[in-house]
A and B are shown apart, each in its own frame.
Chain A
Amino acid sequence: MSDIKLVDVTKQYEGQPQPAVDAVSLDIAAGELVVFVGPSGCGKTTTMKMINRLIEPTSGQILLGGADVMSIEPNELRRHIGYVIQQIGLFPHMTISENIQLVPGLLGWNRDRSRRRADELLDLVGLDPAAYRDRYPRQLSGGQQQRVGVARALAADPPVMLMDEPFGATDPITRERLQKEFLRLQAELRKTIVFVTHDFDEAVKLGDRIAVLKERSRVAQYDTPARILAAPADDYVASFAGSATAIKRLALIPAVRLPGEPLDERDGLPVLERGGSARDALDLMVRRGTSRVAVGDRTVDFAMICALLEDEHGR
């Protein structure tokens, strides 16, 4: 079991007037991807680093699978928690494969097994092992390095991953691709993940749940992306969620889940691409100037989309 439980966790840095993290409590279920989102300096990184003891809490308790992290030897703890930072921090004097093999090596895996694992992970993050395993970090682009950073964190198959703005340093297009691949990965791996970002849209895209943090890491709202968009707890959360929240919610709903009527081929309606969201359906309507589109073997109309948002509001 690898759920994470923060109980009244406080961090007071020496010489600071206020705690950076102030009595924060959060439960993160095993296999869940939770995103910490909040403005710069609100304490996201500090909160996250207390989980792998890179920072020691001043008071409060952090439980990992029920065990107090303070009772676990820090290096032992960290070898079982994947850690990805924004600056990536690959070791420039080691090959890509050696970078990935480092933690398995520390855990006493034999070389063959570590090597095979490195290849497997390169494959998993979309880099051809034959082409990349013997390269050095400086021979990779920023986005490729970021993938290696994720692969390295996954190396020893840790049940828990901490990711601090792992896609922060990439351009919007690469970022979106990395996010998509990451979601696909997570669907397969089902790790318990704490993911830090200050990009609310990224949080909506990736999170099973989002913890919206305000100053001193206080939890303003902790809920699913759909519910935070539908019912922000207060003005702070609402301002963070930004405008067009209804549209953002639609992006979370696969169009195939929309209620629809059987399609009559003779209507000649515009057809939505497979895998499109309710938002894509709406987009298609607006572009074609119709109020109905074809989704698979059914038709979906504008009123249904509105009704759905109304429905989800209560939930």
Chain B
Amino acid sequence: MDFSRYLERRWDDLLEQAVQHAAVVALSVLLATAIGVLVGVLTWRSARASGAAISVSAALLTIPSLALLALLIPLLGLGWAPTVVALVVYSLLPIIRNTVAGLRGVDPAILESARGMGLTGRQTMWRIQLPLAWPIILTGVRVSTQMLFAIATIAAYVAGPGLGNEILSGLAGLGSANALNKAVAGTAGVVLLALAFDLAFVGLRRVTTPRGLRV
């Protein structure tokens, strides 16, 4: 069967897998952003604490993904849960690192005037530091998202959602009639999704960067 006919026949399944792929990445990145920014906020002031947080998240990134999933199955079973946990683990490093860098980059004179005006630490964080660090944090989130689109294909091994299933079944049936079509369709889908998200990030950056920083 040629590729276009294959696509036509499998279009609905592929679309559903693509939507799930995007959903699992988006959910994981959202969770990772919440966790990563929190870790950055709690540790940025201390070189030692933030260094440790970055080292740990970098070490996590070196665990082979299959091994990590295998470790998660006894705890979380199959499907979405181990997939999301693994993806969150892999996306922490860029987010934590950029949060720390962004917060460190805020001009000390700005912090001093905030303190001198009587803003509490929390008010300074929410109203001054995070908005100023946001463009850099968002860049970290964007890098993580791109990484996750590729990594998420591995979820198929734990019966997780997404285009990985298409690729995996292609690889498993190598030599059979549609094996190549499957692998190509799955891979192309991942790449296209990643591109679409990257474009969305350009827009998101535009919308969420405070106007005063763009002038």
With beta carbons under 8 angstroms apart, the residue of B113, B123, B212 that contacts A89 is B113
Known A91-B110, A92-B132, A139-B215: A83·B210 in contact at CB below 8 Å: no
Binary B-proximity of A167-206 (CB < 8 A = 1, otherwise 0): 0000000000000000000000000000000000000000
Q: Fill in one digit per residue for A92-125: 1 if any B CB lies within 8 Å of its CB, else 0.
A: 1111000000110010000000000000000000
A106 touches B109 (CB 8 A): no
The smallest beta-carbon distance between B201 and chain A, in angstroms, is 20
In the assembled complex, A58 has its CB within 8 A of some CB on chain B = no
Interfacial chain B residues near A83, Cβ < 8 Å: 113, 116-117
In the complex, what residues of B have CB within 8 A of residue A152's CB? 117
Chain B interface residue count, CB cutoff 8 Å, equals 21
Is B176 interfacial (CB-CB < 8 Å)? no
Would you call A137 and B115 a contact (CB within 8 A)?
no
**Contact between B117 and A102 (Cβ–Cβ < 8 Å)?**
yes
For residue A290, which residues in chain B have a CB less than 8 angstroms away from its CB? none
Q: A89-B113, A93-B210, A95-B212 are in contact. Are A76 and B107 (CB under 8 A)?
A: no
Cα separation A85 to B108 with both chains bound (whole Å): 12
If A89-B113, A92-B213, A93-B210 touch, whether A106 touches B131 (CB-CB below 8 Å) is no
B213→A75 contact, CB < 8 A: no
Instruction: Say which residue of A77, A87, A91, A94 sits within 8 Å of B118 (CB atoms).
Output: A77
Select one of B109, B128, B132 contacting A85, CB under 8 A: B109
Interface flags for B98-123 (1: CB within 8 Å of A; 0: not) read 00000000010110111111111001
Please tell me which one of the listed residues A75, A92, A95 contacts residue B119 in the complex, with CB atoms under 8 A apart. A75
CB distance from B137 to the nearest CB of A (A): 14
Whether the Cβ atoms of B215 and A91 lie closer than 8 Å is no
Closest to A136 in B: B212
- Contact at A89–B118, with CB atoms within 8 Å? no
Contacts of B5 in A (CB 8 A): none
Contact B131 A88 (CB under 8 A): no
Tell whether, in the assembled complex, residue B113 and residue A85 are in contact, meaning their CB atoms are under 8 Å apart.
Answer: yes
Indicate which residue in A54, A93, A102, A103 contacts B212 across the interface (CB closer than 8 Å): A93
Residues from chain B with Cβ under 8 Å of A102 in the complex? 117, 119
A298 within 8 A of partner (CB) = no
Residue A52 is within 8 A (CB to CB) of chain B in the complex: yes
**A49-97 contacts to B (CB < 8 Å):** 52, 54, 74-80, 83, 85, 87-95
Known: A85-B109, A93-B131. A79 touches B117 (CB 8 A): yes
Q: Give the shortest distance, in Å, between A100 (CB) and chain B (any CB).
A: 11
Most chain B beta carbons < 10 A, residue from A54, A102, A137: A102
Any chain A CB within 8 A of the CB of B9? no
A75 and B131 in contact, given A88-B109, A93-B210, A94-B212 (Cβ under 8 angstroms):
no
CB–CB A93/B109 < 8 A: no
In the complex the two chains form, what is the Cα distance from A89 to B114 in whole Å?
8
Given A89-B112, A91-B128, A92-B132, verify A103-B211 contact (CB < 8 Å): no
B126 to chain A, nearest CB (A): 12
The CA-CA distance from A87 to B108 in the complex, in Å, is 10
What residues of chain B lie closer than 8 Å to A88, measured between beta carbons? 109, 113
CB distance from A97 to the nearest CB of B (A): 12
Quote the shortest CB–CB distance from B128 to chain A (angstroms).
Answer: 6
How many angstroms from the CA of A83 to the CA of B120 in the assembled complex? Answer: 16
Interface presence of A138 (CB below 8 A): yes
Chain A nearest CB: distance from B206 CB in Å?
A: 15
A81 to chain B, nearest CB (A): 8
Q: Given known contacts A88-B109, A91-B110, A92-B132, is B213 in contact with A78 (CB within 8 Å)?
A: no
Known: A75-B119, A93-B128, A138-B215. 20 other contacts (CB 8 A): A54-B116, A77-B118, A80-B118, A85-B112, A85-B116, A87-B107, A88-B109, A89-B107, A90-B113, A92-B110, A93-B131, A93-B213, A102-B119, A106-B117, A106-B119, A106-B123, A136-B211, A136-B215, A137-B212, A138-B212
Those 10 A-B pairs whose CB atoms lie nearest each other, nearest first: A89-B113, A93-B210, A87-B109, A78-B118, A79-B118, A136-B212, A83-B116, A89-B109, A93-B212, A75-B118
The interface of chain A, by Cβ under 8 A from chain B, is: 52, 54, 74-80, 83, 85, 87-95, 102-103, 106, 136-139, 152, 162
A-B contact pairs, 8 of them (CB 8 A): A75-B120, A89-B110, A90-B113, A91-B110, A92-B212, A93-B132, A95-B212, A106-B117
B interface, CB within 8 angstroms of A: 107, 109-110, 112-120, 123, 128, 131-132, 210-213, 215
